Amino acid sequence: MTHTSRKVGIVSLGCPKALVDSEQIITQLRAEGYQISPSYDEADLVVVNTCGFIDDAVAESLDAIGEAIAENGKVIVTGCLGAKGNVVQENHPQVLAVTGPHAYQEVMAEVHKHLPPRHDPHTSLIPHQGIKLTPNHYAYLKISEGCNHRCTFCIIPDLRGDLESRPVGEVLQEAENLVKCGIKELLVISQDTSAYGVDVKYRTGFWGGRPIKTRMTELAVALGEMGVWVRLHYVYPYPHVDEVIPLMAEGKILPYLDIPLQHASPRILKLMKRPGNIDGTLERIRKWREICPNLTLRSTFIVGFPGETEAEFQMLLDFIEEAQLDRVGAFAYSPVDGAQANELPDPVAPEVQQQRLERFMNVQQAISEKKLARKIGTTLQVLIDTVDAEGAVGRSSADAPEIDGRVYIEDVGPGVEAGSIIDVTVTDSDAHDLWARPV
């Protein structure tokens, strides 16, 4: 007897955290015998995982839902936009169901309702690590959901709720499965990685029979034993962040810290209600670099926040000159629907915001250019992302996928493929990327 499996299409929009949600949904669908359809035509139903963070993302998500309705007709919406009032239903009343982010069980319940499963043991076989949407050699490891902070420009706590840390044993088991399946790099993500475990009072969990606290340092130590690259994202500068720097110096985890600072003026940071304390940050950065000289520091900043004066902006420029951060993302402040910061007085005019953004980026570009030029002639380890006839493209410990730079390598020998780790000598650089040849 043959079964025809039911087919579900998935449209995944938004950030790496949303991608992890999509992976979880796909894994569950496959586990229950559904097939994933690459086209609207063949799908019996489509799940659209949306983003609702900024206005552009809302528009993109609504367009994607509209397209799925037009092309297929049976649509379930999940993700951040689903948690934003009735935006989805008002724009697309035809959708079958709407859930918020991180709600794969609700999504599955809706799928069962509208497309009951036909179990087929052959299609139920899923690989160890679940189904991943990232290339086969790196994976995002989501350690918690939600956030206890209330930054005035952000609505993530409204959309995703307070911090909920995943049990450390479950996170480590997932990491182990990923490594068993050949993953070479784990990217630890959350809204606030350094707060991991605060909600469960750093409860002790178990991994392989060994007691481990639900806490960033302990998690980093355990991940560091798995023999793959481990990269920490969204780490706030709480005092205990100092504990992971020696692990980086010892090569246990990548010497890379993504630490979103957002501004350098204490008054603006207070208006932003940012966690962490900027006082002493320069001194701490100096100490971190003393302990781990090859540390890459990435950060993001907002310019033109409501009330930002020229003097406060200058303070930010002075800070980045002094801090000499390696990787920096900057955004002109833009109001997010529902964010408290929209009520603040003295908005900065858009043209002033743009000028400040340009000035900021010019300063940072010069810093980045100089820092990368210093790498010429040095030897780096590179994880290969793609290989073609012209050579390979990879990343060093200083480059997270998609957001940082790349290393372009000519003449890689046979046997080098995506996921290989090779040593290269840097031959050239610009403000973002490096060029290199195999050692």
Provide the mask over 263-302, with x wherever binding to ligand SF4 is found by CB under 6 A and - wherever it is not: ------------x---------------------------
Where does this chain touch ligand SF4 (CB under 6 A) — which range of 46-54, 119-127, 142-150, 296-304? 142-150
How many chain residues interact with ligand SF4 (CB under 6 A)?
Answer: 10
Q: Report how far residue 6's alpha carbon sits from residue 117's, in angstroms, rounded to the nearest whole number.
A: 7
Where does this chain touch ligand SF4 (CB under 6 A) — which range of 24-32, 154-162, 367-375, 395-403? 154-162
Where does this chain touch ligand SF4 (CB under 6 A) — which range of 14-22, 26-34, 149-157, 224-232? 149-157
Q: Are 190 and 142 in contact (CB under 8 A)?
A: yes
Nearest distance, CB of residue 158 and ligand SF4, angstroms: 9
367 binds ligand SF4 (CB under 6 A): no
Among 7, 74, 137, 149, binds ligand SF4 (CB under 6 A): 149
Nearest distance, CB of residue 331 and ligand SF4, angstroms: 12
| Residue among 391, 372, 388 at smallest CA distance from 380 | 372
Comparing CB distances to ligand SF4, the nearer of 149 and 233 is 149
66 binds ligand SF4 (CB under 6 A): no
Strand 296-303 relative to strand 327-332, pairing: parallel
| Helices and strands (H, E) in the chain, number of each type | 12, 20
Residues 86-125 contacting ligand SF4, CB under 6 A: none
Where does this chain touch ligand SF4 (CB under 6 A) — which range of 98-106, 147-155, 322-330, 381-389? 147-155
Residue 437 φ/ψ region, left for φ over 0, alpha for ψ in the -120 to 50 degree band, beta for the rest: beta
Provide the mask over 389-408, with x wherever binding to ligand SF4 is found by CB under 6 A and - wherever it is not: --------------------
| Residue among 146, 147, 149, 398 at smallest CA distance from 257 | 398
For the record, the structure tokens of 344 come out as 């603040």
**Which residues, 6+ apart, have CB-to-CB distance to 194 below 8 Å?**
216, 235, 236, 237, 238, 240, 241
Comparing CB distances to ligand SF4, the nearer of 64 and 188 is 188
Strand 210-213 relative to strand 164-165, pairing: unpaired
Comparing CB distances to ligand SF4, the nearer of 191 and 368 is 191
Q: Are 76 and 95 in contact (CB under 8 A)?
A: yes
165 binds ligand SF4 (CB under 6 A): no
Q: Report how far residue 395's alpha carbon sits from residue 162's, in angstroms, rounded to the nearest whole number.
A: 34
Nearest distance, CB of residue 273 and ligand SF4, angstroms: 8
Among 62, 69, 151, 330, binds ligand SF4 (CB under 6 A): 151
Among 8, 20, 75, 147, binds ligand SF4 (CB under 6 A): 147
Residues 170-229 contacting ligand SF4, CB under 6 A: 191-192
DSSP alpha helix (H) spans, 156-305: 156-160, 168-180, 216-224, 245-249, 266-272, 281-291
Burial 190-214 (b: 16+ CB within 10 A, else e): bbbbbbbbbbbebeebebeeeebbb
Helix (H), strand (E), coil (C) string for 352-420: HHHHHHHHHHHHHHHHHHHHHHCCCCCEEEEEEEEEECCEEEEECCCCCCCCCCCEEECCCCCCCCCCC
Comparing CB distances to ligand SF4, the nearer of 177 and 340 is 340
| Residue among 235, 236, 234, 240 at smallest CA distance from 217 | 240
| Residue among 115, 3, 8, 21 at smallest CA distance from 72 | 8
Comparing CB distances to ligand SF4, the nearer of 194 and 397 is 194
For the record, the structure tokens of 232 come out as 């920490």
Among 25, 88, 111, 156, binds ligand SF4 (CB under 6 A): 156
Among 66, 117, 135, 157, binds ligand SF4 (CB under 6 A): 157
84: phi then psi, degrees, rounded to nearest 5? -95, 80
For the record, the structure tokens of 182 come out as 């050949």
46 binds ligand SF4 (CB under 6 A): no
Comparing CB distances to ligand SF4, the nearer of 237 and 401 is 237
Comparing CB distances to ligand SF4, the nearer of 45 and 187 is 187
Nearest distance, CB of residue 272 and ligand SF4, angstroms: 8
Nearest distance, CB of residue 19 and ligand SF4, angstroms: 17
For binding to ligand SF4 (CB under 6 A), which residues are involved? 147, 149-151, 154, 156-157, 191-192, 275
